[in-house]
Structure 1
Amino acid sequence: MNKPGIKQVEVQIMSQSYMLACPVDGEEALREAVAKVDGAMCRIRDAGKVKARDRIAVLAALNIAFELFQKDAGAFRNSSFGQTESGETEESARLAEQEAQLQALLQRLDAALAPDGRLF
């Protein structure tokens, strides 16, 4: 049973189908995220050094999280928004937010990979 405003979307990651829930207006963003994850996982698999799906998923998640952190941290450091009136940076709040986003991503990966076993 779907919750109001939530729809089920079937996606493919490394040629395996997954049913994911997303907001009705979030399908395009979900599909973009799936494409990014699928591309990252396929590149790791195709490099031939890692074979286990769960390890490939963890490496892909870490690579994506690192890319996002580098992008966000660079934009944050180069803006005036990173400074308080006393001159201290608000970086710790930004890092806490990014940590929460990474945890949410790992939980979604755990849910998607549930039939194969949990990541952690």
Structure 2
Amino acid sequence: MTSNTVTVHILDKDYCIACPADERANLESAARYLDGKMREIRSGGKVIGADRVAVMAALNITHDLLHKQQRLDQDVSSTRAHVRDLLERVDGALATDQDSSHS
């Protein structure tokens, strides 16, 4: 894994970042996403200054990430409960089947 320098353009500035070659596409995608979020916030006109725009973008992205993680955790819990219910039903059906075959 060789590391190359990748230049990304975020909110009218260039940033040179060391990045493994196999992660270049992910870095570029992340930079485009961040640039879009920062431009969206800046165009709203309520936040002035690149530092503040960056912090607001970071907070929005973090909020979205945590919200998606929470939903994923809820989905996993729901799926586990569903699987447990199915296993109990299968166990019950097998137990009933064994009881009737021994009669």
User: What's the TM-score, normalizing by structure 2?
Assistant: 0.71
- Structure 1, unmatched stretches of 5+, are 84-120
Q: CA RMSD in A?
A: 1.9
Query: Which structure is richer in relative contact order (CA contacts within 8 A, separation 6 or more)?
Result: 1
Q: Partners in 2 of 1:20 and 1:51 — Cα distance?
A: 26
* 1:28-87 per-position Cα deviation (integer Å, ceiling 9, x unaligned): 100111011100100011111112110000000010011111111101111139x8xxxx
2: CA distance between counterparts of 1:67 and 1:80? 20
1:52 and 1:15 map into 2 onto residues whose CA distance is: 13
What is the match of residue 9 of structure 2? 12
Match of 1:33 in 2: 30
Gaps of 5+ in 2: 81-103
Give the corresponding residue for 1:105: none
Matches within 5 A, 1:30-69: 30-69=27-66
Number of residue pairs the alignment of both structures matches: 80
**Runs of 4+ residues over 2 Å off in structure 1:** none
Partner of 1:109: none
Q: Which structure: greater helix fraction?
A: 2
Quote the offset at 1:15 in angstroms: 1.3
1:24, distance to aligned residue in structure 2 (A) = 1.2
Q: Which has the larger radius of gyration?
A: 2
Q: Residue type of the partner of 2:6? A: V
